[in-house]
Amino acid sequence: MNLEYFFSLFLGGMTRGSIYALIALGYTMVYGIIKLINFAHGEIYMIGAFTALIIGGALSLTSMNPVAIFIIAAIVAIVYSAAYGYTIEKIAYKPLRNAPRLSALISAIGVSIFLQNYVLLSQTSDFLPFPNLLPEFGFLKPVENFLSTTQFLILLSTAVVMILLTILIKFTKMGKAMRATAQDQQMAQLVGINVNRVISMTFIIGSATAALGGVLITTHIGQINFYIGFIAGIKAFVAAVLGGIGSIPGAVLGSFVLGLTESFGTGYISSDYEDAFAFIILILILIFKPSGLLGRKENEKV
């Protein structure tokens, strides 16, 4: 067995997994709190990538340092997408808070279609090149055959985001309020938690991490179009279900399992089935362990 090939597949899988994890976090956190599968979430990722492209393109006309351009573009993309996530919740989901769950789900699908077409009309249906603004890191020279600079950056920033998020959720007051709201929304209100604020915060955090994922992966792949959010969103959703929707560690684990499966699957079996692996996993998990790897069984309250 070719060890170098194995390693490159492994790191490729971890990279994919990282991106899925950044998106899946939003799915799982929103589901954990308001029990909604936010199907518009993939679009947030796409909007993040487009924002970075537009800002990056505009700044490229100046004589700014490319790394500075990348950082500014990424930050603007994250803030802008977070604002999108916040607004979508207020407009499309909040009015349906007490409606049957299916209504909010349909609303989410509507938002998704709307955003795709909005970007299609305002931009173009063609693939747009996404410039790689980052220099090669010197210290990665010895391993450059299987770990590129962008891959390294993706792994690093995902790790940082995961650590920050863990600290936020475990130790801060807002984090505790989020967990309390996920466990018993009415009781959370009865101890004085402003549930609307917690829900907004969840959408903001989820959208910000998805946008970061969007910026990073398009830098890595080098091109985007209006449709990238759909497939990435579906796969991250599969990852969240695989890990146990509602569970944050589950979403991360599910994402890495999915990323590695896809990477090894395309490398050792056939790249024709690249997108099929996710759905094979989804079908298997729904048959054998519907609550997911780390998910809890739902106890319906009476």
Partner 1 sequence: MLKIEHISTYYGNIQALKDISISVSEGEIITLIGANGAGKSTTLMSLCGIVPVRSGKITFDGQDITTMTPDKIVSLGISQVPEGRRIFPLLSVKENLDMGAFLRNDKEGIKRDIEYIYTLFPRLAERRNQQGGTLSGGEQQMLAISRALMAKPRLLLLDEPSLGLAPLIVQQIFEIIKKVNEENKTTVFLVEQNANMALKIAHRGYVLETGKITMTDNADKLLSNEDVKKAYLGI
Q: Which residues bind partner 1 (CB under 8 A)?
A: 173, 176-177, 179-180, 183-184, 186-195
196 vs 270 by CB, closer to partner 1? 196
Q: DSSP per residue over 117-174, as a string?
A: HHHHHHS-SS-EE----PPPPGGGGGGTTT--HHHHHHHHHHHHHHHHHHHHHHHSHH
Closest approach of partner 1 to the CB of residue 197, in Å: 9
128 vs 195 by CB, closer to partner 1? 195
Closest approach of partner 1 to the CB of residue 301, in Å: 9
Checking DSSP bridges between strand 223-224 and strand 128-129, what pairing results, if any? antiparallel
72 vs 180 by CB, closer to partner 1? 180
Distance of alpha carbon 245 from alpha carbon 251, whole angstroms: 7
145 vs 196 by CB, closer to partner 1? 196
Q: Residue 19: which residues within 8 A CB-CB, separation 6 or more?
A: 154, 158, 213, 216, 217, 232, 255, 259
Closest approach of partner 1 to the CB of residue 138, in Å: 46
* Tokens of residue 287, six digits: 């048959």
Closest approach of partner 1 to the CB of residue 190, in Å: 5
105 vs 169 by CB, closer to partner 1? 169
Strands (E), 202-253: 223-224
- In angstroms, the Cα distances linking 236 to 34, 98, 103, 134 are 18, 27, 22, 26
Look at the block and give the residue holding tokens 């209006």. 226
Closest approach of partner 1 to the CB of residue 83, in Å: 24
90 vs 179 by CB, closer to partner 1? 179
Closest approach of partner 1 to the CB of residue 82, in Å: 23
